[in-house]
Chains A and B, each alone.
Chain A
Amino acid sequence: MKVEFKKVNKSYDHLQVLRNLDLVIESGEKVVLIGPSGCGKSTTLFCINALEPIQSGEILVGGTSTVSCSRKTLRKMRQKIGIVFQQFNLFPHYTVSENVELALKVVLHLSPQETHQRAQKVLGEVGLLDKINNYVSQLSGGQQQRVAIARALVMEPEILLLDEITSALDPELTGEVLDVMEKLAKERAITMIFVTHEILFSRKVADRVIFMEDGMIIEQGHPEQVLKNPAEERTRQFLHKVTQHLA
């Protein structure tokens, strides 16, 4: 499913976070957004499924505007746009399987059998079949994030938005989550938009890397070009700061 931003402006009170943003993400493309904190990367994701309203401009998802459509249409579109949050946002009063199955029952009204089958399949993909009856508080951070990924995937989305999904994890837990994401990126033809600081991961999975600052796109292109030989000085400075601790 294609995503288009047309002259999008977004503010939080008097703080402008997106400035006349024009962006097109083709169907099936894997795009990584990088940039300093507060540059509008996460806001860009949240505007795609209208979790955050915009002040002006247009956002089209699969040709349909998320700004001017009805609430019913927006809910239908959201079923096809999966999102994985930085802080997981799992439901603490449900078990792992209940977290994953909830939307299948309540939104899609699937039968118990089909609900169970789909949940088992995605939980198997993220390696959590042995935890289905655990509550989320009984899981590690990495396991919780994998449940969040499974919860988004079980709806069979056409677009998957991933907002800094390893930032809230201890360094030793990020590997298991990144492995799952790498596998998904390779196996699934869905559009995936990542916000991440994981440069090595970006090189492996991205079709395009976009560097943002102050709510605008500074540079974008193939990972080899943007991450290894950025054309813009600001991109170079940012990458130098991010990668120097890896040396």
Chain B
Amino acid sequence: MELTDLTRWLFHLSPYDILLLLKGALTTIALSVGAIGIGSILGAVVGWIRSLRLVKRIRPLWWLTSIYVDTMRGTPLLLQVYFVYYAVPVLTGINTSVFFAGIATLALFQGGYVSEAVRSGLEAIERTQWWAGESLGMSYLQTMRYIILPQAMRIIIPPFIGICLGVIKDTSLVSTIGFIELSFRAKSIGARTLDTLPPWLFAAGLYFIICYPISRFSQQIEARLRKKQ
């Protein structure tokens, strides 16, 4: 049996189309890694700022960060993608490429959710743990590094992994502005071959292969954290 016959028999797809879908999956992974990387750093910084007692007392600072977080969490990602790609050039005169619009929107979106996970993780640690560190002569950074963060991470990691899984699947939305990732490939192949189900099923399988190990890893992390407590 030739390769073409095998792939058609198994997946109702040509080897060329399977290759395109695999390339799309790689682009999805690259986009996810970029967005999660940038978004996590942004979210960690914003979440840390929002956990500070000083910021809660100075209301304008709180409002500033709230505008960002509440907008990201309160509006559909699809609208955010369209806004960055179509509205930002009109409002600012700056041309945004598909690549920039895709990664920037996903990173900002991820950051909004991560910031809340980080904020609640840090706030969940009792103030008395800060006192214990400070009373031993530790600086703010030492107390954060050795006492607060290790405890806060146990609270932050499970929802953080869930947010990352969401972002990986949400990369499909940037296909609407022409970003050539996995969903875009599936849509294109379906339009060309006039047989839409096989490429979408294959794409779904690839999304599952990407997400399942992360989901299992999250369950293992949660089990280990429960055990240690």
Contact = CB atoms under 8 A, between A and B. Distances in A.
Interface in B137-153: 137-139, 142, 146-147, 150-151
Given A102-B146, A106-B146, A107-B142, A90 B132 contact: yes
A224 B27 CA distance: 81
B131 A106 contact: no
B128 interface: yes
B137 A79 contact: yes
A106 B134 CA distance: 12
A89 B128 contact: yes
Contacts of B128: 85, 87, 89
Contacts of B75: none
B136 A102 contact: yes
Given A89-B129, A92-B151, A93-B150, A83 B138 contact: no
Interface string A38-58: 000000000001010000000
Interface string B218-229: 000000000011
A87 B126 CA distance: 12
Contacts of B92: none
B154 to A, nearest CB: 8
Nearest to B140: A71
Interface in A154-168: 155
Given A78-B136, A79-B136, A155-B137, A91 B129 contact: yes
Contacts of B228: 93
B70 to A, nearest CB: 28
Given A89-B128, A106-B146, A137-B229, A75 B135 contact: no
Nearest to A49: B135
Contacts of B129: 89, 91
A200 B89 CA distance: 78
A206 B134 CA distance: 28
Interface string A81-124: 11101010111110000000011001100000000000000000
A89 B150 contact: no
Contacts of A92: 151, 229
Contacts of B137: 75-76, 78-79, 103, 107, 155
A151 interface: yes
Nearest to A81: B135
Contacts of B151: 91-93
A59 B131 CA distance: 19
Given A76-B137, A107-B137, A151-B136, A89 B142 contact: no
A242 to B, nearest CB: 26
A155 B132 contact: no
B138 A91 contact: no
Contacts of A51: 131, 134-135
Contacts of A83: 135
Contact of A75 (B132, B138, B150, B154): B138
B28 to A, nearest CB: 36
Nearest to A86: B128
Contacts of A71: 139
A102 B146 CA distance: 8
Nearest to A99: B132
Interface in A172-231: none
B133 to A, nearest CB: 8
Interface of B: 128-129, 131-132, 134-139, 142, 146-147, 150-151, 154, 228-229
10 contacts: A51-B131, A81-B135, A82-B135, A89-B128, A93-B151, A102-B146, A103-B136, A107-B136, A151-B136, A155-B136
Closest 10 CB pairs of A and B: A79-B137, A103-B136, A89-B132, A78-B137, A107-B137, A83-B135, A89-B128, A75-B137, A93-B150, A51-B131
